[in-house]
Amino acid sequence: METGKLELKDLFVGERLCLDFINTACRRREEELEFLGTVEEAEKWLQYAEGVHNKPIYNAGVWQGEDSGKSLSQAIRLRIALRELVLAVIEKRSAPVSAIEAVNTVLQSSPTYCQLTLAPDGYRESVHAKDTDSMWLASIAADAVGLLCRSDLTLLRQCEHPTCVRIFYDTTKNHRRRWCVEKCGSHKKAAAYYRRKVAKNRLEKGRNETKRS
């Protein structure tokens, strides 16, 4: 895959941390895009994701050591597994056991515990792990567990644009969201309008030819 050409801010359309993580491998105009292709790209995504989802998932020390490449490989494997699980829900089919095992492996490798802290607006829960190197992966995996076990799975969607594969959780009031971003919807509407216009022109041309004959 090539390095993503979308703006990083445009990548966060999933409404859940785990879905935004899945969407780091996406497609634009039939071109495969990769946002975790290098350690530097992974750091940028994590820093942005931490701000969007208000979860402490970025640890600079993880990416400055010799094992940074290992963390990136683990991330790719987790992403593949999560995509398989979510697509199984959307497509109403059985999830592969291997994908479930991959998620559980990440969770087992970094047991976490909750801590209660005091914030200016009240209390806040923070999650900690003894193995901080893989804590960010465990946080993403835990978010996926929460989504799959404690959410309305009928609201999981894949963008309806024919060349887009991004996934999102529909939080709109009427639950009729069809596209990851409005731009995808605009492209589809424009294509439909063009097809209708071509069909109309062909029909009018046929009528004119009939009149002349």
Residue 212, CA distances (Å) to 155, 206, 207, 208 in order: 55, 10, 9, 6
Q: Identify which has the larger pLDDT, 210 or 187.
A: 210
Q: Name the residue among 177, 174, 169, 176 with its Cα closest to residue 148.
A: 169
Please report the sign of the dihedral spanned by the C-alpha atoms of residue 12, residue 17, residue 18, residue 19. Answer: negative
Q: Give one DSSP letter per residue of 7-54, joined into a string.
A: -GGGG--SSSHHHHHHTTEEEETTEEEESSSSHHHHHHHHHHHHHHHT
Tracing tokens 């109309």 back to the chain, one arrives at 200
**Per residue in 77-95, pLDDT tens?**
999 999 999 999 999 999 9
Confidence (pTM): 0.80
pLDDT band at 193 (very low <50, low <70, confident <90, very high): very low
Q: Measure the CA–CA gap between 73 and 213, rounded to whole angstroms.
A: 69
Q: Measure the CA–CA gap between 135 and 126, rounded to whole angstroms.
A: 12
Q: Identify which has the larger pLDDT, 59 or 18.
A: 18
Worst-scoring range by mean pLDDT, 6-10, 106-110, 117-121, 158-162? 6-10
Side-chain half-sphere of 60: how many Cα atoms within 13 Å? 0
Tracing tokens 């409005």 back to the chain, one arrives at 182
% residues pLDDT > 70 (the chain)? 83
Region 142-150: what's the mean pLDDT? Answer: 95
Residue 209, pLDDT score: 63
**Per residue in 200-213, pLDDT tens?**
456 566 556 666 66
Q: Identify which has the larger pLDDT, 39 or 202.
A: 39
Residue 134, pLDDT score: 79
User: What is the CB neighbour count within 10 angstroms for residue 116?
Assistant: 8
Evaluate if residue 194 carries a pLDDT over 90. Answer: no
Q: What single DSSP character describes residue 182?
A: H
Evaluate if residue 18 carries a pLDDT over 70. Answer: yes
Residue 86, pLDDT score: 98
Query: Do 96 and 88 contact (CB within 8 A), yes or no?
Result: yes
